[in-house]
Amino acid sequence: MCDPSSEEAREQLVVESLLKLSGKHSVTHHEHLQPVVMQNVEFPTFPVRGPTDRLCYVIQRYDDVPWSTGTSASRRKAMDAVMPPVSSMTFTLNNGNKLPAVGLGTYRVRQPDVIMQTVDEALAAGYRLFDTAAVYGNEGALGDAFRKLLPKYNLEREDIFITTKLSPSEHGNSAVIKQAYQKSLHNLGVDYIDLFLIHFPGAARLPSGDLRNAKLRASTWRGMVDLYDEGCVNSIGVSNFTLKHLKELNMRATGVYPVVNQVEWHPYYYQEDLRAYCMKNEICLQAYCSFGGTSHQDTTLLKDPVVKGIAERHEATPAQVLLAWALQQDVAVIPKSVDPARIRENITIEFRLTEHEIKALNNLGNKKKKYAWDPTSVR
């Protein structure tokens, strides 16, 4: 019998105990197990130093264990304890660039002092993706925050990922797109943008039902592709595009697909056909409004009994449950908060939802409750 005082023996005992909790048979050669990686998602790699690190491999390999609502607290905590940090998770985009799985949204955050404090808290918590847009009116304040705070954390420009978006009032040809892009660069005080998105499929000057929207949208995408081909921007994508808009987009003619489609995505409102299309075409879905209508003081989703019940079982917050629901379905997230505690909570998700819990949350989609602007009527 192995000496239980040795590190190898202790490691073996911990692994065997955890496998028993999960209902699996013991495994002798557990050092050969490989982690299960979600499609297009990469967990951080690390050297195996002992039981805790090895358990990450074992748990990911045996993640087909059925965890029902009747799961004991010990089994649930065993799973929760070994979830890799989401701050290090990335999605591989269709051009090979890496997108942090969790970023900080900045919609309606405009006051310079609030932005400075929020970015400070976010960098300290491990956020490296910051999402903004021309229409948010905060690019300048974010640029000031980056210049002041990156040195504080020994970070360089290339250590963070900046997303901004083309205003619906600036759709047009390549010259128009380039001018708008240069303005965002100036506001942010940077030499390049990591991800530049068409913010909305419709132009600000046209009614949503105007057929000219489609023509202008195609011209705008060609202008975005020109920026990308010239090496001005690392990646380009779209936001609020429906399945119809993606199919109509002049992707084949340009040879460049969007790397991201950023859309409203939460259990009350999600589109499985859109998700399937994006997965097939290697377009990463990125969710906004993950908490429902909190930007409009609507906390209905956060207070939903299903969400709250799952949160209680995992000793987590409802917000963390909603973020985990998206991440486990290969959807990136950009939760917004200016509260220091919530900023930290939103990037500290140390549990995995069970298949049963994901299905329970999916069933809330019957409510079809949308909180943000609706692109479905845009021609």
Residues belonging to the active site: 136
Q: Which of 310, 272, 359 is nearest to 76 (CA)?
A: 310
How big is the CA angle at 264 (ends 270 and 305), to the nearest 5 degrees?
A: 60
Distance (Å, whole) CA 370 – CA 264: 8
Residue 7: its H or E element: helix 7-21
Q: Tokens for 200, please give them.
A: 């909305």
Distance (Å, whole) CA 1 – CA 256: 60
From residue 14, how far is each of 9, 17, 285 by CA, in Å? 9, 5, 37
Strand 284-288 vs strand 104-105: parallel, antiparallel, or unpaired?
A: unpaired
Q: Tokens for 106, please give them.
A: 């900045």
Q: Tokens for 34, please give them.
A: 């490989």
